Structure 1
Protein backbone atom coordinates (compact mmCIF):
# COMPACT_ATOMS: atom_id res chain seq x y z
CA UNK A 1 0.00 0.00 0.00
CA UNK A 2 1.31 3.44 -0.95
CA UNK A 3 0.88 6.26 1.52
CA UNK A 4 1.51 9.99 1.43
CA UNK A 5 5.07 9.69 2.75
CA UNK A 6 6.00 7.42 -0.17
CA UNK A 7 4.72 9.92 -2.68
CA UNK A 8 5.78 13.14 -0.98
CA UNK A 9 4.13 16.50 -1.26
CA UNK A 10 4.23 19.01 -4.09
CA UNK A 11 5.44 21.50 -1.46
CA UNK A 12 8.49 19.32 -0.80
CA UNK A 13 9.47 19.33 -4.46
CA UNK A 14 10.63 16.50 -6.72
CA UNK A 15 13.56 15.60 -4.44
CA UNK A 16 11.11 14.17 -1.90
CA UNK A 17 9.99 11.55 -4.41
CA UNK A 18 13.04 10.99 -6.61
CA UNK A 19 15.81 11.54 -4.10
CA UNK A 20 17.49 13.82 -6.65
CA UNK A 21 20.24 16.08 -5.42
CA UNK A 22 20.04 19.79 -4.77
CA UNK A 23 22.00 20.86 -7.84
CA UNK A 24 23.10 19.28 -11.14
CA UNK A 25 26.25 17.22 -10.65
CA UNK A 26 26.00 16.73 -6.88
CA UNK A 27 25.19 13.02 -7.10
CA UNK A 28 28.15 12.58 -9.49
CA UNK A 29 30.54 14.31 -7.08
CA UNK A 30 31.00 17.60 -8.92
CA UNK A 31 30.98 21.01 -7.17
CA UNK A 32 27.98 23.31 -7.50
CA UNK A 33 29.84 26.33 -8.90
CA UNK A 34 33.18 27.28 -10.40
CA UNK A 35 35.92 25.17 -11.92
CA UNK A 36 35.01 21.50 -12.21
CA UNK A 37 31.26 22.10 -11.93
CA UNK A 38 28.90 20.95 -14.65
CA UNK A 39 28.57 23.40 -17.52
CA UNK A 40 25.11 24.89 -17.77
CA UNK A 41 22.96 24.48 -20.90
CA UNK A 42 23.33 28.13 -21.99
CA UNK A 43 27.11 27.93 -22.03
CA UNK A 44 26.99 24.60 -23.85
CA UNK A 45 24.62 25.99 -26.48
CA UNK A 46 26.93 28.99 -27.02
CA UNK A 47 29.86 26.61 -27.58
CA UNK A 48 27.89 24.68 -30.20
CA UNK A 49 27.09 27.97 -31.95
CA UNK A 50 30.78 28.89 -32.05
CA UNK A 51 31.59 25.44 -33.44
CA UNK A 52 28.79 25.75 -36.01
CA UNK A 53 30.13 29.08 -37.30
CA UNK A 54 33.59 27.55 -37.62
CA UNK A 55 32.12 24.59 -39.54
CA UNK A 56 30.28 26.94 -41.89
CA UNK A 57 33.49 28.86 -42.60
CA UNK A 58 35.42 25.63 -43.26
CA UNK A 59 32.68 24.24 -45.53
CA UNK A 60 32.38 27.46 -47.51
CA UNK A 61 36.16 27.77 -47.75
CA UNK A 62 36.77 24.27 -49.10
CA UNK A 63 33.50 23.73 -50.99
CA UNK A 64 32.21 27.20 -52.01
CA UNK A 65 29.84 26.07 -54.76
CA UNK A 66 28.70 22.87 -53.06
CA UNK A 67 28.01 24.27 -49.58
CA UNK A 68 25.61 26.96 -50.79
CA UNK A 69 22.22 26.97 -49.03
CA UNK A 70 19.49 25.03 -50.79
CA UNK A 71 21.80 22.49 -52.43
CA UNK A 72 22.53 18.88 -51.56
CA UNK A 73 25.95 20.03 -50.37
CA UNK A 74 24.39 22.04 -47.58
CA UNK A 75 24.94 18.99 -45.36
CA UNK A 76 28.71 19.49 -45.62
CA UNK A 77 28.83 21.78 -42.53
CA UNK A 78 27.06 19.03 -40.58
CA UNK A 79 29.73 16.57 -41.69
CA UNK A 80 32.45 19.02 -40.67
CA UNK A 81 30.78 19.37 -37.26
CA UNK A 82 30.70 15.58 -36.89
CA UNK A 83 34.37 15.17 -37.75
CA UNK A 84 35.43 18.14 -35.62
CA UNK A 85 33.55 16.85 -32.56
CA UNK A 86 34.73 13.29 -33.09
CA UNK A 87 38.42 14.15 -33.39
CA UNK A 88 38.75 17.05 -30.97
CA UNK A 89 36.59 15.70 -28.14
CA UNK A 90 38.07 12.21 -28.50
CA UNK A 91 41.68 13.41 -28.28
CA UNK A 92 41.88 16.83 -26.63
CA UNK A 93 38.65 16.65 -24.64
CA UNK A 94 37.05 19.77 -26.09
CA UNK A 95 36.01 21.47 -29.31
CA UNK A 96 37.13 24.96 -30.24
CA UNK A 97 33.85 26.45 -28.98
CA UNK A 98 34.14 24.58 -25.69
CA UNK A 99 37.72 25.76 -25.27
CA UNK A 100 36.74 29.38 -25.95
CA UNK A 101 33.94 29.14 -23.37
CA UNK A 102 36.19 27.30 -20.88
CA UNK A 103 34.65 23.84 -20.86
CA UNK A 104 35.82 20.29 -21.49
CA UNK A 105 34.23 16.88 -21.99
CA UNK A 106 35.48 14.19 -19.65
CA UNK A 107 34.63 10.71 -18.47
CA UNK A 108 32.26 10.73 -15.52
CA UNK A 109 34.10 8.14 -13.47
CA UNK A 110 37.76 9.08 -13.84
CA UNK A 111 38.02 12.33 -15.80
CA UNK A 112 40.18 12.82 -18.86
CA UNK A 113 39.23 12.61 -22.56
CA UNK A 114 36.51 10.11 -23.40
CA UNK A 115 38.39 8.43 -26.25
CA UNK A 116 37.59 8.05 -29.92
CA UNK A 117 34.88 5.38 -29.76
CA UNK A 118 32.74 7.19 -27.19
CA UNK A 119 33.49 10.45 -28.95
CA UNK A 120 32.07 9.01 -32.17
CA UNK A 121 28.84 7.99 -30.40
CA UNK A 122 28.60 11.45 -28.86
CA UNK A 123 29.28 13.25 -32.16
CA UNK A 124 26.72 11.23 -34.14
CA UNK A 125 23.99 11.95 -31.59
CA UNK A 126 25.00 15.62 -31.52
CA UNK A 127 24.60 16.10 -35.27
CA UNK A 128 21.26 14.30 -35.16
CA UNK A 129 20.10 17.12 -32.83
CA UNK A 130 19.16 14.62 -30.14
CA UNK A 131 20.87 16.38 -27.16
CA UNK A 132 18.58 19.42 -26.94
CA UNK A 133 15.56 17.13 -26.88
CA UNK A 134 17.00 14.90 -24.15
CA UNK A 135 18.71 17.42 -21.83
CA UNK A 136 15.95 17.15 -19.22
CA UNK A 137 15.97 13.35 -18.95
CA UNK A 138 18.74 13.32 -16.38
CA UNK A 139 18.82 15.11 -13.02
CA UNK A 140 22.26 16.41 -14.00
CA UNK A 141 20.94 17.89 -17.29
CA UNK A 142 23.03 15.53 -19.38
CA UNK A 143 21.64 14.69 -22.78
CA UNK A 144 21.43 11.27 -24.33
CA UNK A 145 24.77 11.87 -26.06
CA UNK A 146 26.46 12.32 -22.66
CA UNK A 147 24.65 9.43 -21.03
CA UNK A 148 25.50 6.92 -23.77
CA UNK A 149 29.12 8.03 -23.98
CA UNK A 150 29.61 8.15 -20.19
CA UNK A 151 30.69 11.77 -20.41
CA UNK A 152 30.00 15.05 -18.69
CA UNK A 153 30.81 18.63 -19.72
CA UNK A 154 32.57 20.56 -16.96
CA UNK A 155 33.82 24.11 -16.58
CA UNK A 156 37.57 24.68 -16.64
Structure 2
Protein backbone atom coordinates (compact mmCIF):
# COMPACT_ATOMS: atom_id res chain seq x y z
CA UNK A 1 0.00 0.00 0.00
CA UNK A 2 2.90 2.35 0.73
CA UNK A 3 4.27 2.19 -2.81
CA UNK A 4 0.85 3.01 -4.25
CA UNK A 5 0.44 6.04 -2.04
CA UNK A 6 3.98 7.22 -2.79
CA UNK A 7 3.41 6.81 -6.55
CA UNK A 8 0.14 8.72 -6.30
CA UNK A 9 1.79 11.54 -4.37
CA UNK A 10 4.60 11.78 -6.95
CA UNK A 11 2.16 11.79 -9.88
CA UNK A 12 -0.13 14.31 -8.20
CA UNK A 13 2.81 16.58 -7.31
CA UNK A 14 4.12 16.51 -10.87
CA UNK A 15 0.60 17.15 -12.18
CA UNK A 16 0.31 20.12 -9.84
CA UNK A 17 3.59 21.61 -11.06
CA UNK A 18 2.67 21.15 -14.73
CA UNK A 19 -0.84 22.53 -14.17
CA UNK A 20 0.62 25.48 -12.28
CA UNK A 21 2.83 26.25 -15.27
CA UNK A 22 0.14 25.65 -17.92
CA UNK A 23 -3.12 26.67 -16.23
CA UNK A 24 -2.19 28.63 -13.14
CA UNK A 25 -2.71 25.63 -10.84
CA UNK A 26 -6.48 25.26 -11.06
CA UNK A 27 -8.01 22.11 -9.56
CA UNK A 28 -9.48 21.09 -12.90
CA UNK A 29 -6.12 21.66 -14.58
CA UNK A 30 -4.35 19.45 -12.05
CA UNK A 31 -6.90 16.68 -12.53
CA UNK A 32 -6.65 16.99 -16.33
CA UNK A 33 -2.86 16.73 -16.29
CA UNK A 34 -3.02 13.79 -13.86
CA UNK A 35 -5.57 11.98 -16.05
CA UNK A 36 -3.57 12.63 -19.22
CA UNK A 37 -0.41 11.25 -17.61
CA UNK A 38 -2.20 8.14 -16.38
CA UNK A 39 -3.94 7.45 -19.69
CA UNK A 40 -0.88 8.03 -21.86
CA UNK A 41 1.79 6.38 -19.74
CA UNK A 42 -0.16 3.53 -18.18
CA UNK A 43 -1.86 2.79 -21.49
CA UNK A 44 1.40 2.58 -23.42
CA UNK A 45 4.14 1.65 -20.95
CA UNK A 46 2.18 0.13 -18.09
CA UNK A 47 3.39 2.64 -15.52
CA UNK A 48 3.23 6.31 -14.64
CA UNK A 49 6.23 8.37 -13.54
CA UNK A 50 5.35 7.75 -9.90
CA UNK A 51 4.89 4.03 -10.50
CA UNK A 52 8.29 3.84 -12.18
CA UNK A 53 10.06 5.72 -9.39
CA UNK A 54 8.70 3.41 -6.69
CA UNK A 55 9.16 0.24 -8.76
CA UNK A 56 5.60 -0.85 -9.59
CA UNK A 57 3.68 -1.23 -12.82
CA UNK A 58 0.12 -1.87 -13.97
CA UNK A 59 -0.45 -5.17 -15.77
CA UNK A 60 -3.38 -7.17 -17.02
CA UNK A 61 -3.90 -10.44 -15.22
CA UNK A 62 -2.13 -12.23 -18.11
CA UNK A 63 0.99 -10.05 -17.57
CA UNK A 64 0.61 -7.78 -20.60
CA UNK A 65 0.44 -3.98 -20.57
CA UNK A 66 -3.08 -2.61 -20.01
CA UNK A 67 -3.54 -0.87 -23.37
CA UNK A 68 -5.54 2.28 -24.15
CA UNK A 69 -9.14 1.36 -23.25
CA UNK A 70 -8.36 -0.17 -19.84
CA UNK A 71 -6.09 2.80 -19.09
CA UNK A 72 -8.88 5.26 -19.91
CA UNK A 73 -11.54 3.50 -17.83
CA UNK A 74 -9.10 2.81 -14.98
CA UNK A 75 -8.06 6.48 -14.93
CA UNK A 76 -11.64 7.77 -14.97
CA UNK A 77 -12.46 5.52 -12.02
CA UNK A 78 -9.24 6.56 -10.26
CA UNK A 79 -10.20 10.23 -10.67
CA UNK A 80 -13.49 9.50 -8.89
CA UNK A 81 -11.37 8.52 -5.83
CA UNK A 82 -13.89 6.12 -4.24
CA UNK A 83 -13.03 3.13 -6.49
CA UNK A 84 -9.36 3.60 -5.59
CA UNK A 85 -9.95 3.40 -1.82
CA UNK A 86 -12.28 0.40 -2.01
CA UNK A 87 -10.05 -2.66 -2.32
CA UNK A 88 -10.17 -6.41 -1.79
CA UNK A 89 -8.05 -8.86 0.21
CA UNK A 90 -5.45 -8.86 -2.59
CA UNK A 91 -5.08 -5.06 -2.24
CA UNK A 92 -6.61 -4.52 -5.70
CA UNK A 93 -8.64 -1.34 -5.91
CA UNK A 94 -12.07 -1.40 -7.49
CA UNK A 95 -10.65 0.49 -10.48
CA UNK A 96 -8.18 -2.38 -11.01
CA UNK A 97 -10.78 -5.11 -10.52
CA UNK A 98 -13.16 -3.57 -13.05
CA UNK A 99 -10.46 -3.52 -15.75
CA UNK A 100 -8.79 -6.83 -14.76
CA UNK A 101 -5.50 -5.11 -13.96
CA UNK A 102 -3.12 -5.42 -11.05
CA UNK A 103 -0.17 -3.46 -9.70
CA UNK A 104 3.02 -5.55 -9.55
CA UNK A 105 6.58 -4.90 -8.53
CA UNK A 106 8.96 -4.30 -11.41
Q: Look up the match of 1:86.
A: 39
Aligned to 1:3: none
Query: Is 2:35 the counterpart of 1:75?
Result: no
Q: Does 1:150 align with 2:103?
A: no
2:91 to 101, 124, 141: 141
Which structure 2 residue ranges, 5 or more long, are not aligned? none
**Does the CA-based 8 Å contact 1:94-1:103 persist in structure 2?**
yes
Tell me, yes or no, if the aligned pair for 2:35 and 2:79 is still in contact at 8 Å.
Answer: yes
The Cα of 1:99 is off from its aligned counterpart by 0.2
Alpha-carbon distance in 1 for matches of 2:55, 2:99: 21
Q: Which has the higher helix share?
A: 2
Question: 4+ runs of 1 displaced by more than 3 Å?
Answer: none
Structure-1 separation of matches of 2:83 and 2:49 = 19
Give me the TM-score of the superposition, normalised by structure 2. 0.94
Q: Structure 1, unaligned stretches of length 5 or more?
A: 1-40, 68-72
- Measured in 1, the distance between the counterparts of 2:7 and 2:83 equals 14
CA distance in 2, matches of 1:132, 1:105: 14
Cα-to-partner distance string for 1:64-112 (whole Å, 9 max, x where unaligned):
2xx2xxxxx321101111111011101000000000001100001x212
2:35 and 2:72 map into 1 onto residues whose CA distance is 8
Q: RMSD of aligned C-alpha atoms?
A: 1.1
Q: Does the CA contact (< 8 Å) of 2:70 and 2:99 recur in 1?
A: yes
Question: Which whole-Å deviations, capped at 9, do the CAs of 1:122-155 have from their partners, x for residues lacking one?
Answer: 00011111244312xx221111100011100001
Alpha-carbon deviation of 1:63? 1.6
